[in-house]
Structure 1
Amino acid sequence: MTAALLGLALGVSLAAWLGTGWLRRYALARSLVDVPNARSSHSTPTPRGGGLAVVLPFLVVILLLGWVGLLPAAEVAALLGAATLVAAVGFLDDHGHVAARWRLLTHFVAAAWLLGCAGIPAFSSFGLSAVPIQMLAVVAALYVVWVLNLYNFMDGIDGIAAVEGIAVATGGAVLAIAAGHPVEVIVPPLMLAAALGGFLAWNFPPARIFMGDVGSGFVGAMLAAFSLQAGRHDEVLFWSWLILLGVFVVDATFTLLRRLLRGERVYQAHRSHGYQQAARRWKAHRPVTLAVVMIDVFWLLPIAALVILDWMPPLHGLAVAYAPLLVGALLLGAGRREPTVGPSL
């Protein structure tokens, strides 16, 4: 079984790598190129939409896992439906423009589909067992939509969204293995990580193609789905996933709140996230992308493991994990009013 899954992961990664190369040629032929402007973090016109090469192999492998009985039908339907909706609206937005309200509506429909098919984790701690299921459903839908969108917000420099997806998905799978959970909680995240690995070969700084909305929204939605799926098996696993997502959650949330307080339109493009401030300060994308990997592996993963081992309460783990990330966001000036000069990288 292990050898078969390893072979499947390698096939997914190869398919994503080949597909990204083809999509790069397609984007160049169709002039689907991100041209740098005053709100960009890059200086070279770069094709976009490469995330489709992550979406398609993942959807195929989820169908295959369901066909051989490694994934329950409800999980297959939940992942396929939500992924297709989010990727489709992202694909359309990459090729033209979809109004923010229609994108958001599609995201909520995808979240509703995901929760309707797979169910809502029955959290028992922090008094959540007494919360009406309807309220939990609303909170869970908001969570899915927020993770989906924050992933889109954080996909602003070369490689960062891909390496975060690989680190978080692999970390979540490793923790599930350590906790003795079933294959259905372990394999889908690993397959997403494999697909992102194939794409990263083209996206690592300096990127030759960008993920685009078709990829960033999809990856965010799948990470949210995996965390809820893990929570249905073990509540502590959900909190561990939330710890693993810390870099993106803290930077995106802090930046959003700071911009909201200034009365800015948060759905408009900007480059005031902490990671973007860092990229301008260091005048390069690669150090920032590598720093995200280091934080994920050497800070967030060990804390998530302590929570899984029941050596640290979940909320304590979240506080310990997020506190230095919040300090880092403050020091980097996340959400600070951005400069009016053109692209710096």
Structure 2
Amino acid sequence: MTSFEILLSFIAAVLAASISAMLIQATRPMLLRVALAKPNARSSHKIPTPQGAGIAVTVATLLAGAIVLVLAGLSDLTPPFVVFAASLFIAVVGFADDVRPLPVVPRLLLQAAAVAVVVFAAPGDLRIVPACPLWLERGLLLVAGLWFVNLVNFMDGLDLMTAAEAVPITVAVALLGSFGHVPAATTIVAAALCGALLGFSPFNRPVARIFLGDVGSLPIGLLLGWCLLQLALHQQFAAALLLPLYYLADATVTLLRRMARREPFWAAHRSHFYQRATDNGFTVWRVIGEVFVLNVVLALLAITSVALNSLAADIVLLLAGALAVALLLHRFSQPRMP
């Protein structure tokens, strides 16, 4: 990217942060009346709290991203705007689910439609494993994308958790984009999403004044997934795995444990490691702080992987990231000593 494009990414982040904060401030009184999340046995909050700030985060990301993409004068804006359309669609699905929970199957089918648009809109000449048939690779990416969108939603169960995960990812993608490892459009969208989440963070810090809701976590998951897909399609597969590794591990291990115990794994629960940590005596700030630090470490490992551009280095860095994640999951699963 040129210095002009780097400046545009910075503008996208600042603009998105401003829009996000202003929209949350403006819509919170209305959300207090129509979208109040009341505590229950599976909740991490203790008092009724409005949800729906994801409307502001999504609008801020897409609006700031669209403005800056047009200003950038990129030759082909079709891919990012296809992703924007899919993000709006899945946000509507999330909002409907926030207002009145949808049955599992229709909800998954609607989410899969949005993910499919993003996956199959990618150019056919961009491949992760060229030896793999295109239809099989895209089919597997569809399944992986659907899981990723849902795990971002599942992991949005604690104040500031989504920001603690997504901000390091988007900063890393934007930095890698500044060196040309992902397209300029991906870099700008990552910067806009980062800014929108920073604008949301003061309202969501413990004790949260407002939550994202599915209307926010689902499109955030889709946009993050698209950014990671761009890394993988540009042969940075290790980086694409390292950046979301904590989320992938916590959500996937929890799912497998619940399936092994024959629990209704599709239902809401408090079995994730970060939720067990608060039950084990960790404060919310401590959990969020440790997750954020881990994600910064994973982001540094991902950037190092791209810089070294070596299969041996990728293996070592993936093992180091996996070890760091495993240590934190183990720490969260144990009662905290006084």
Relative to the length of structure 1, the TM-score reads 0.88
**Distance in 1, Cα, partners of 2:259 & 2:26:** 40
Shift of 1:66: 4.1
Task: Kindly indicate whether the alpha-carbon contact (under 8 Å) linking 1:147 and 1:220 is maintained by their aligned counterparts in 2.
Answer: yes
**Distance in 2, Cα, partners of 1:279 & 1:70:** 46
What is the match of residue 224 of structure 1? 225
Unaligned runs of 5+ in 1: 335-345
Shift of 1:181: 4.8
Map of 1:34-45 to 2, 5 A cutoff? 34-45=37-48
Letter in 2 for 1:61: A
- Whether 1:165 and 2:163 are equivalent positions in the alignment is no
**Distance in 1, Cα, partners of 2:12 & 2:302:** 27
Map of 1:6-25 to 2, 5 A cutoff? 6-25=10-29
CA 1:77–1:179 in structure 2 vs 1: closer, same or farther (change >3 Å)?
closer
What is the match of residue 113 of structure 1? 117
Cα-to-partner distance string for 1:129-188 (whole Å, 9 max, x where unaligned):
221111001111111111100001100110111221111111122133245654223211
- Whether 1:270 and 2:269 are equivalent positions in the alignment is yes
Task: Kindly indicate whether the alpha-carbon contact (under 8 Å) linking 1:65 and 1:71 is maintained by their aligned counterparts in 2.
Answer: no
What is the match of residue 301 of structure 2? 303
Percent identity (aligned): 29
Map of 1:166-245 to 2, 5 A cutoff? 166-178=167-179, 181-232=182-233, 234-236=234-236, 238-245=237-244
SS at match of 1:130: coil
Cα root mean square deviation, aligned? 2.0
SS at match of 2:280: helix
Letter in 2 for 1:235: Q
Task: Kindly indicate whether the alpha-carbon contact (under 8 Å) linking 1:62 and 1:76 is maintained by their aligned counterparts in 2.
Answer: no
Q: 2:70 aligns with which of 67, 72, 88?
A: 67
Shift of 1:111: 1.2
**Distance in 2, Cα, partners of 1:156 & 1:96:** 19
SS at match of 2:121: helix
**Distance in 2, Cα, partners of 1:293 & 1:66:** 29
What is the match of residue 342 of structure 1? none
Cα-to-partner distance string for 1:214-258 (whole Å, 9 max, x where unaligned):
1111111111101112333x211x431320111111100110111
Shift of 1:116: 2.4
Shift of 1:281: 2.2
CA 1:217–1:181 in structure 2 vs 1: closer, same or farther (change >3 Å)?
closer
Map of 1:35-184 to 2, 5 A cutoff? 35-68=38-71, 69-70=73-74, 72-119=76-123, 122-123=126-127, 128-178=129-179, 181-184=182-185
Task: Kindly indicate whether the alpha-carbon contact (under 8 Å) linking 1:121 and 1:229 is maintained by their aligned counterparts in 2.
Answer: no
CA 1:63–1:305 in structure 2 vs 1: closer, same or farther (change >3 Å)?
closer
CA 1:324–1:71 in structure 2 vs 1: closer, same or farther (change >3 Å)?
farther
Shift of 1:102: 1.4
SS at match of 2:231: helix
Task: Kindly indicate whether the alpha-carbon contact (under 8 Å) linking 2:36 and 2:51 is maintained by their aligned counterparts in 1.
Answer: yes
**Distance in 1, Cα, partners of 2:247 & 2:75:** 28
**Distance in 2, Cα, partners of 1:292 & 1:121:** 36
Unaligned runs of 5+ in 2: none
Task: Kindly indicate whether the alpha-carbon contact (under 8 Å) linking 2:65 and 2:188 is maintained by their aligned counterparts in 1.
Answer: no
Structure 1 runs, 4 residues or longer, greater than 6 Å off:
none
Task: Kindly indicate whether the alpha-carbon contact (under 8 Å) linking 2:12 and 2:188 is maintained by their aligned counterparts in 1.
Answer: no
SS at match of 1:282: coil
**Distance in 2, Cα, partners of 1:330 & 1:303:** 21
Task: Kindly indicate whether the alpha-carbon contact (under 8 Å) linking 1:90 and 1:217 is maintained by their aligned counterparts in 2.
Answer: yes
Shift of 1:42: 1.5
**Distance in 2, Cα, partners of 1:250 & 1:283:** 20
**Distance in 1, Cα, partners of 2:145 & 2:125:** 13
Task: Kindly indicate whether the alpha-carbon contact (under 8 Å) linking 2:80 and 2:186 is maintained by their aligned counterparts in 1.
Answer: no
Deviates more, 1:136-145 or 1:73-82: 73-82
SS at match of 1:266: coil
Shift of 1:88: 0.8
Relative to the length of structure 2, the TM-score reads 0.90
Cα-to-partner distance string for 1:301-338 (whole Å, 9 max, x where unaligned):
2211221122554344323212331243245339xxxx
**Distance in 2, Cα, partners of 1:139 & 1:231:** 13
Task: Kindly indicate whether the alpha-carbon contact (under 8 Å) linking 2:82 and 2:121 is maintained by their aligned counterparts in 1.
Answer: yes
What is the match of residue 317 of structure 2? 317
**Distance in 1, Cα, partners of 2:267 & 2:124:** 32
Task: Kindly indicate whether the alpha-carbon contact (under 8 Å) linking 1:13 and 1:197 is maintained by their aligned counterparts in 2.
Answer: yes
Shift of 1:5: 4.1
CA 1:191–1:120 in structure 2 vs 1: closer, same or farther (change >3 Å)?
farther
